[in-house]
Amino acid sequence: MFAEKHHVCRIAVALAFAFVMFWMGGRTFADTADHIQPYPANPAYWQYKGKPVLLLGGSWQDNLFNHPIGLQRHLDLLKSVGGNYLRNTMSHRNTGNVFAYAQRDGKFDLDRWNEEYWRRFENFLRLTYERDIIVQIEIWDPWDHYVDHQSLGGWSKHPFNPANNVNYTAEESRLPTRVSYEPRGEPTDHAFFRSVPALDNNQLVLSYQQAFVDRLLSYSLSCPHVLYCMNNETGERVEWGDYWAEFVRRRARAAGVQVCTTDMRRSEDVRSKDHAYIFDRPDLYTFVDISQNNAWAGLGQKHYDNILYVRERLAKQPRPINNNKNYGAARHGEEESVARFCRIVFAGCASVRFHRPHPLENADAHEAATDFGLGLSPRAQAIIASMRKIADAVELTRTSPRNDLLSERSPNEAYCLAEPGKQYAVYFPDGGAVKLDASAAPGSLEVRWLDVTGSAWQAPLRQQGGGILELTTPGKGHWAVMILVN
């Protein structure tokens, strides 16, 4: 009986994978000519719809698709301040969220979908596509699979837990019914993350995992604005992430579309073996995500130096460096969170997003909170808008980090991006004065200061280039200056 029902479920998923497409204005997402992909002229950045693009974002939740109330307004707000980048975990951890599976007799039935879950996902993809917002999907989120987390998260509530479904027992599945520990930075014995052939080869559990990912891909593969991250900050064996990256890429090839894939390791040390494994597999991981560098790994100058280490590690095969989580005031203070967001841009990364506040389930207050992440709070909105102003004024893809052009600089005082002789941009986390070597830029220069906190340009100034340019911020706080050769 089980085999027959499961066979029917797999046929249904295969049909959905083959035929589900979204229609917009008489054309499908799959008709879009230019997907999100590394920018050929500088693969450290992204390209979308044929043009280079810097990804900037912030949001009040990680699993926005599962929060449909107010979603459209939230996306409009993000777009209005220059944001174009979101994280989306396929999670169900908050009050008001729904699970991916229908229930029978008080338990989940893994052979029957909860269509509301997938309607929400489809709606989210449509709304973000309409607004040119790039979505980075995290397929598996460990916070849904270990100790209880927020209202609905954790293994005790998860549909794959044998105690919670009608499809298999603990003995049949070899899965635990209780997990009492949090996600870790090293592999655990959690059998859910060992199902793949290279590890436990648990075909029963793997078949249901495959069905879930196939259903997800039946919607997302036709969307040109989606990036794929296999896990959120995982410490499990790399064979687990490898399997799903290969799975997604294989499905994409079969559908005739290109996708970009990565995995996010939990280690906060970007020099760790975990990260090195991802860095050294450009064939499988076509971009990297170093969000954990924005946790406890480093503050100030060290935070920036860690990013430059990654850039150097990727230099032979450059790829976009994403930062899907920039943590907030509860860890290091709000000013450091703002500085970190800007440093990420000035270190030449491809994306940065303000992490969501935590824990927060009150939608009425979500856009004001800043504790665990600045989210899309008023402060976050201003910083996103400022970095968009920089990206609009400076051709970032033609620049590179060039702190060597700065003198009389203290650690963490200023950060420079430059295309010497043509354009320069310098960011100050807390005011200051440095000297910029503009000897490669003789003639007249346009110098314009940006109040980053206020997101306002000051009137442009004219200065003579061809030598050393003294740069002194108009005040304390966060400032940036743009220097263009006329």
DSSP for 330-395, written as a single string: HHH-HHHHHHHHHHHHHTT-SEEEEPPPSS---TTTTTT--SS--TT-HHHHHHHHHHHHHHHHS-
* Residue-level pLDDT at 367: 76
Q: How many CA atoms lie within 13 A of 278 on its CB side?
A: 34
What is the domain class of 2-398 according to CATH? Answer: alpha beta
- Mean pLDDT, range 184-190, rounded to an integer: 94
For the chain, what percent of residues have pLDDT higher than 70?
A: 92
Residue 332 pLDDT more than 90?
Answer: no
Chain centre to alpha carbon of residue 58: 10
Residue 28 pLDDT more than 70?
Answer: no
Q: Are 213 and 221 in contact (CB under 8 A)?
A: no
Task: Give the total residue count for the chain.
Answer: 486
CA distances, 6 to each of 112, 118, 266, 444 (Å)? 10, 19, 34, 72
How far apart CA 333 and CA 177 sit, in angstroms, is 39
How far apart CA 157 and CA 400 sit, in angstroms, is 47
Tell the residue number behind the tokens 């402060």, with chain if given: 379
Sign of the torsion formed by the C-alpha atoms of 391, 395, 398 and 399: negative
- Mean pLDDT, range 465-481, rounded to an integer: 97
Mutual angle of helices 115-130 and 203-220, in 10-degree steps: 40
What is the rounded average pLDDT for all residues in the chain? 92
Residue 296's pLDDT band, with cuts at 50, 70 and 90, is: confident
* Residue-level pLDDT at 363: 66
Amino acid at 484: L
Amino acid at 183: P
- Residue 178, burial from CB neighbour count under 10 angstroms (0-12, 13-18, 19+): exposed
Beta bridge mates, 326: 354
Residue 32's pLDDT band, with cuts at 50, 70 and 90, is: low
- Mean pLDDT, range 173-199, rounded to an integer: 96
| E strand segments, 126-180 | 134-140
* Residue-level pLDDT at 457: 98
* Residue-level pLDDT at 331: 75
Residue 164 pLDDT more than 70?
Answer: yes
Strands, sheet with 406-407, edge to edge from the N-terminal-most edge strand: 406-407, 433-437, 468-472
Residue 5 pLDDT more than 80?
Answer: no
How far apart CA 384 and CA 386 sit, in angstroms, is 5
How far apart CA 165 and CA 18 sit, in angstroms, is 28
- Mean pLDDT, range 258-286, rounded to an integer: 96
Mutual angle of helices 71-80 and 115-130, in 10-degree steps: 20
Provide CATH 2.60.40 ranges for the chain: 400-485
Residue 69's pLDDT band, with cuts at 50, 70 and 90, is: very high
Which one of 1.10.357, 1.10.287, 3.30.1490, 2.60.40 gives the CATH number of domain 400-485?
Answer: 2.60.40
Q: What SS3 state is found at 133?
A: coil
Least confident of 9-23, 32-46, 100-114: 9-23
How far apart CA 253 and CA 304 sit, in angstroms, is 37
* Residue-level pLDDT at 365: 72
Quickly list H helices, 400-445.
none
Sign of the torsion formed by the C-alpha atoms of 409, 396, 46 and 455: positive
- Mean pLDDT, range 18-35, rounded to an integer: 47
Residue 371's pLDDT band, with cuts at 50, 70 and 90, is: confident
Residue 1 pLDDT more than 60?
Answer: no
The encoded tokens of residue 159 equal 């549909």
For the chain, what percent of residues have pLDDT higher than 90?
A: 86
How far apart CA 426 and CA 449 sit, in angstroms, is 10
- Mean pLDDT, range 182-192, rounded to an integer: 94
Provide CATH 3.20.20.80 ranges for the chain: 2-398
Residue 38 pLDDT more than 50?
Answer: yes
